Amino acid sequence: MESASVSFPARLEPGEKPVTHDHHGPPEANRSSRVDAQFLGMLLFIISEIMLFGAFFTAYFFIRGVANEAWPAEGTHLPVAVAGVNTAILISSSFTMHWALESAKNENRAGLRAGLLTTFLLGATFLAIQVNEYVHIGFAPGDHAQGSIFYGLTGLHGAHVFVGLTLLLFATVRAFRGHFTPKDHRGVEVPGIYWHFVDIMWILVYASIYVL
């Protein structure tokens, strides 16, 4: 029978200190250097939101394509012109958001602050017009299926605009405090991605609900 071999630590030279390992517990999680965690998190969140909007669009097209119900419901009217102006306002905010991000990359603090503040004001204007539309539109969500779908889709989008405005507010305050640099502008880029998503979703909502 072979005897088990026993290994002994290497002999230390005079003045040499033994190697110690201070790390305890499981190893640290492996992080990819290609995709930033915040950027990836926002993309995954947007994918989940697309699925949520898809459920509402499915109900809308079911009413129009399968049930063949009138849209909008008989006796109701949608303010297409007002919604069109509101659409132009929201699309303009995407350009100002892009301006803010480019200004952050080029160390243009004045452009960064002006772009974020203008984007916030345009978004707030859009939301105020939408609330005013709800007040004067003349029907409620419970009056008919068309009303439920209308308020469901536009209200869901309005909630996303509110979240986007909250993110923009934080970014604007940080910009005025001088937090962003050409190398560290993730706090502008991530809210910008979300804001562009909100704008694209509204174009789809406007084209489907108000135009078609």
Quick one: pLDDT at residue 20? 55
> In this model, does residue 24 exceed pLDDT 90?
no
pLDDT, tens digit, 9 for 90 and up, residues 124-173: 999 999 999 999 998 998 888 899 999 999 999 999 999 999 999 999 99
Quick one: pLDDT at residue 118? 97
Which of these, 203, 205, 211, lies nearest to 72 by C-alpha position? 211
Helices 186-205 + 109-136 axis angle, to 10: 30
- What is the rounded CA–CA span in Å between residue 23 and residue 6? 25
- What is the rounded CA–CA span in Å between residue 144 and residue 87? 26
Q: Name the most confidently modeled range: 47-56, 94-103, 134-143.
A: 94-103
- Reported for 52-57, long-range contacts at CB under 8 A and 24+ positions apart, including other chains, are 52/156, 53/153, 53/156, 53/157, 53/201, 53/204, 56/149, 56/152, 56/153, 56/156, 57/153, 57/204, 57/208
- What is the rounded CA–CA span in Å between residue 72 and residue 53? 20
> In this model, does residue 212 exceed pLDDT 90?
no
Task: Give the HSE-up count for residue 152: Cα atoms under 13 Å, Cβ half-sphere.
Answer: 16
Asked whether the beta carbons of 107 and 149 are under 8 A apart, the reply is no
Which pTM does this prediction carry? 0.79
Quick one: pLDDT at residue 22? 57
- What is the rounded CA–CA span in Å between residue 32 and residue 97? 28
Domains of the chain: 37-211 (1.20.120.80)
